[in-house]
Chains A and B, each alone.
Chain A
């Protein structure tokens, strides 16, 4: 492990030029280009720098005192802490990859490009971060603690869990993507508060667990997407997303856990509740499901105060149910719509009739079509 200070080597401004690196601040050049075991410093004595070649690495990256411009023509992979400063200038479009346990300090400087937190590590934010490029997390199982990351160009959640206390705020226009069909979940707090448009990708379901998911403002496009609110040992602490109209939603909460609905949940596609044998509760407010409801569990019981309001044309079924069912209040209020209750041959949709309210809509069951109230 050595210190590498970027200096004026007299040849060019490139990161890859060994003459541009010194072992001391403002000292003589000629040291080797930083390796993944070197602490890299840009100081008041450092000139403009161009990250000109791929595979640039460092153990840490510290811009304290730097007032010039680093041009990110390529990405940098840092295995430890990163410190930006407000006076520095960042140009180019190369990404910053932080691949190991670290402390991340922005000092109010916006990171304009992609930020990829990729390691199976704990990231500690020393202050808020504003990332104008794509924010990628969850490439490995990780924890991100403290403050917030404002992500202005979208978020990619990887195939591993992303834990931590950091609030990720989507404030621009971009896509929220999950890179795996069934593994990994975002477990930090997540807020959508943008003047732009956030689009949920359709490639894979977006899996969210553990934290508080809040919608404040912005256009959210969910067409063809699926939101999975899951939990294994710890459930989400809050769900306040009534401003979003989801397409498909799956609620697969762990056994004995509670899903608190801080606001209504609205969707146009299929609402799937439960999988496997888990019994859990959903409390508060209403889920307005206009595209059908599926009890996806087998023997678990779903209960609680959250009202499931079927307000459009769709099917209510339970294709895997044995003894399980939904004990929450269920309302069918679908003026002009047709609600079909599990056709013959399907496994039945079991409810507590005392928690059932029929307000409007055509209801078709195996036994006939109901009279309209």
Chain B
């Protein structure tokens, strides 16, 4: 491990030029560019720098740097990173931090992609504002990000497939971009807030667990996406209309501080999971699936079926949903398929055509004769004449 200070070697401003690196601040060139075991410093004595090829370092510290680093190639740092507000960052390449680190922005916006990965803990010393894509984790690793917040302005990707990214850091999406998981097993467990004047597009897979998912403002596009949640989680995202949502987990509690709205399929539980859904209402316009076998879903959250879809429990044996269920689908058709088990005292039928294996409720079935009110008008016709509604005998 050695110190590497960027200096003016007199040839060019490139990171890759060995003559641009010194062992001391403002000292003579050492002729050795940083390795992944070296602490890298940009100081008041450092000139502009161009990261012309992929660079590495153990740490990266810009304290005192008032010039410009141009990110034409990416940097991978195996430890702490310190930015300073006086520095200038140009170029479009990203920064990857792949080992235990303390990340200090000092109020400087990181304009490019930022990747935080490794089976390590990243600790934020202050808030970070990332204008490029923010990527977490790596396959089969558990990455922890603690402290403060990261404002991600160009989307977030969680790459912790078969692993997870967790921690206390709040992730705030404030720009336009895609929020997604790299697969349907890439879990993000930090608090997330969508608060943007732009548009956030939810990718095909988004696995969110454990913490609180908050929507404040912005356009959120969810078409063909699935939000998957498999641990106790809190949702406050009434302003988002999801496409598909899958809730599961063993003895978990999903807390809905606001309504949850979706147009696609709401899937609840797998195998023998007992779950609790508490608070507010899930407005499920595209059907509800109890995906479990013997587990029981309970709690105060109302599952409101408000569109055309199917309610089923294709794997159910003795399990079912004990939460309040409302069918309120004016103009819609709700088909109940096997084996959807509920508590009848928790069911409220308000509107819509409901088709079960033993009959049809509501419009198109059930009531074989028109209501008394409707029969009053049989044999009459109604006309609008000069702004007046006239009822005439046929």
Contact = CB atoms under 8 A, between A and B. Distances in A.
Interface of A: 301, 307, 316-317, 323, 325, 329-331, 341-343, 346, 348-360, 363, 365-368, 370-373
B68 interface: no
Contacts of A359: 359, 361, 366-367
Interface stretch (B96-104, B233-241, B348-356): B348-356
A352 B346 contact: no
Contacts of B162: none
Given A357-B361, A359-B367, A323 B344 contact: no
A301 B357 contact: no
Interface string B322-356: 10111000000000111111111111111100101
B345 A342 contact: yes
A371 B341 contact: no
Interface residues of B, number: 39
Contacts of A366: 324, 345-346
Given A329-B358, A352-B341, A373 B366 contact: yes
Contacts of A357: 356, 358-361, 366
A23 B340 CA distance: 78
B289 to A, nearest CB: 12
Given A360-B367, A367-B326, A372-B367, A353 B347 contact: yes
A330 B349 CA distance: 15
B222 to A, nearest CB: 27
A348 B358 contact: no
A355 B367 contact: no
Nearest to B351: A371
Interface of B: 296, 302, 311-312, 318, 320, 322, 324-326, 336-351, 354, 356-363, 365-367, 371
Contacts, number: 117
A307 B296 CA distance: 25
B347 A350 contact: no
Given A354-B336, A360-B366, A349 B350 contact: no
Nearest to A363: B349
A354 B338 contact: yes
A351 B344 contact: yes
Nearest to A326: B344
8 contacts: A323-B318, A353-B325, A354-B311, A356-B358, A360-B366, A366-B324, A370-B348, A373-B361
A367 B336 contact: no
A354 B356 contact: yes
B35 to A, nearest CB: 63
Nearest to A356: B356
Nearest to B335: A354
B338 A358 contact: no
B356 A353 contact: yes
**Which of A354, A358, A359, A365 has most chain B Cβ within 10 Å?**
A354
Contacts of B345: 316-317, 341-343, 346, 348-349, 365-367
Given A342-B344, A353-B341, A367-B347, 5 more contacts: A330-B344, A331-B359, A346-B345, A355-B356, A372-B371
Nearest to B330: A371
A352 B347 CA distance: 12
A306 to B, nearest CB: 12
A317 B343 CA distance: 10
Contacts of A349: 343-345
A354 B312 contact: yes
B249 to A, nearest CB: 20
A365 B348 contact: yes
A349 B341 CA distance: 10
A351 B350 contact: no
Nearest to A348: B343
A8 B306 CA distance: 94
Contacts of B365: 373
Contacts of B338: 352, 354
Given A359-B367, A371-B350, A348 B344 contact: yes
Contact of A354 (B337, B348, B362): B337
Given A350-B320, A355-B356, A356-B358, A368 B342 contact: no
B282 to A, nearest CB: 14
A371 B363 CA distance: 11
B358 A307 contact: yes
Contacts of B342: 350-351, 353
Given A307-B358, A350-B341, A353-B356, A341 B367 contact: no
B344 A341 contact: yes
A224 to B, nearest CB: 28
Given A357-B359, A359-B367, A373-B367, A352 B344 contact: no
